[in-house]
Structure 1
């Protein structure tokens, strides 16, 4: 279980493997572990990556839908759980509980000999992320005022969430549109805390962690400002039409040059 980039991807085919059933987005009861079968009805796989998978499930007794993340347990697997359990905010994906057991989803094993699997139960958000929202807006022919108004509201909510994360002495380290979701009322929900770390000056942090296209130029010694750098890039994407990865790369390159220039 790699607690690195945890993406709620809508395209399951991108990360398919030989052990993955062709209809893997709708798992049957025979394909899930006993604990899940006892408590939840599996409805759909929402995403799959190096960490494992995220599933949409329904609690059999409460009749409430949740997201359950499943992955192999490693030494640092509980870092995300500790951070989520410390955060309770309207603009952050809500954490409920976690558990560990010896079995996982059949297609997530991929020949893995790990003896423990980590399950994290969380709030279920919309399947459309901010990445999807931006891509849809970029299909429009003009930059209209409505996009700017909506972008301002989204940006303000992201700032509120990040400010709260920092107030709790955490650094997210992987802020990007794909890790920002929406709740049932359309409110922003920051998720994917697999790279979260403590904002402690005495802590020796791992370098070069995150998504390269949103990564701050600080690679050795850094603090919460790395989240602020990513925020700036996200705000630019919210307001301006950047349809290709190369265009986003140019914006990041310019931001890096300006950042370094301001520090010289």
Structure 2
């Protein structure tokens, strides 16, 4: 097995976030399978250097907004639904944890990327607001239907239909096509970072660990993002990264995301199993491809297999996947309708 170098694992960038089904918290933690015995997990290394200065807000102040409710919360901070006191406009306000050097760097990276993008497939940033701690909060477009993760949970983890999945895959691929054309690799595509509005539009969010590829052969294999959705070459580039293509990692993550929505649970582990780092690494790099139900169509099976090739050079590109029969051979209006039906069902059940 290839040795994973310590320098690829900066402190705090690796997360094991997975949707844990109800009741799973009482289960014993999973242990790594035989392929991981003797594997030395690298130590987390601190990030050197002072935090960079934050940009000036200028247009807005925190006092201009009233908080309505919490939309999400994590190690990086809290996202609130807020209303502008004067105009009544509703936004999402992303506030970071104060005095965290790494998180400040991620916020600044997200600001840089959001300011450079202009696409209906990417969540819009309406402003950058200074906070009392010296950090900044991001004033973002509010997506009123939540995320694909929250929609799946609201439906009791009931699988999505294939037409709805085709619409989801098409929209996300269009977003990735735009980002990749701007030399941006997202590096954290997952259900929780794909936001949805009540019209059925999907927008890519959370660019804190994304990378702008300054040169065509820039390395992009560091341990950042959510571990569970990382591609094999980001764990072990020597074995899986031949003819290196940084953008292929986003395709792998999309494939896992679509398959999760099809199965109703994270595809690389049995339902209810709690993940640990080594188990996930083994499942991603050495495990067998996930089994699909007998009811899955041949087009869907082929689409997923094109996304989840362990060798990055064998994975289909975004443009190839957009032309795949699972997407291109389908009635788009029907697929749109089926996805809106999924959203409607989730809203009535939540």
Using the size of structure 1 for normalisation, the TM-score is: 0.70
1:32-64 deviation per Cα after TM superposition (whole angstroms, max 9, x unaligned): xx9322x11111121222222111110111110
Deviates more, 1:231-240 or 1:53-62: 231-240
- 2:141 aligned residue (91, 107, 123): 123
Hey, what's the Cα distance between the residues in 2 that align with 1:168 and 1:234? 23
Q: Secondary structure at the match of 1:85?
A: helix
Post-superposition offset of 1:239: 2.9
1:201-254 deviation per Cα after TM superposition (whole angstroms, max 9, x unaligned): 354546111211110111357611110111111222233343787237697433
Instruction: Sort the Cα spacing of 1:135 and 1:43 in 2 relative to 1 into closer, same or farther, 3 A.
Output: closer
Instruction: Sort the Cα spacing of 1:100 and 1:4 in 2 relative to 1 into closer, same or farther, 3 A.
Output: farther
In structure 1, the partner of 2:211 is: 197
1:224 to 2:241 alignment: no
Post-superposition offset of 1:3: 8.0
1:40 to 2:65 alignment: yes
Deviates more, 1:181-190 or 1:232-241: 232-241
In structure 2, the partner of 1:180 is: 194
State the superposition RMSD in angstroms: 3.3
Hey, what's the Cα distance between the residues in 2 that align with 1:258 and 1:153? 22
Q: Secondary structure at the match of 1:246?
A: coil
Hey, what's the Cα distance between the residues in 1 that align with 2:84 and 2:13? 26
Hey, what's the Cα distance between the residues in 2 that align with 1:137 and 1:243? 15
Higher relative contact order (CA 8 A, sep 6+): 2
Instruction: Sort the Cα spacing of 1:87 and 1:128 in 2 relative to 1 into closer, same or farther, 3 A.
Output: same
The count of residues paired between Structure 1 and Structure 2 equals: 219
Instruction: Sort the Cα spacing of 1:244 and 1:207 in 2 relative to 1 into closer, same or farther, 3 A.
Output: closer
Q: Secondary structure at the match of 1:254?
A: coil
In structure 2, the partner of 1:93 is: 123
**Cα contact 1:66–1:124 (8 A) shared by 2:** yes
Q: Secondary structure at the match of 1:155?
A: helix
Q: Secondary structure at the match of 2:161?
A: helix
1:213 to 2:228 alignment: yes
Using the size of structure 2 for normalisation, the TM-score is: 0.54
For structure 2, which runs of at least 5 residues remain unmatched after alignment? 1-11, 20-59, 272-279, 291-307, 315-350
Hey, what's the Cα distance between the residues in 2 that align with 1:197 and 1:40? 31
Post-superposition offset of 1:133: 2.8
1:259 to 2:310 alignment: yes
Hey, what's the Cα distance between the residues in 2 that align with 1:44 and 1:170? 32
In structure 2, the partner of 1:50 is: 75
**Cα contact 1:174–1:195 (8 A) shared by 2:** yes
Deviates more, 1:196-205 or 1:211-220: 196-205
Post-superposition offset of 1:154: 1.2
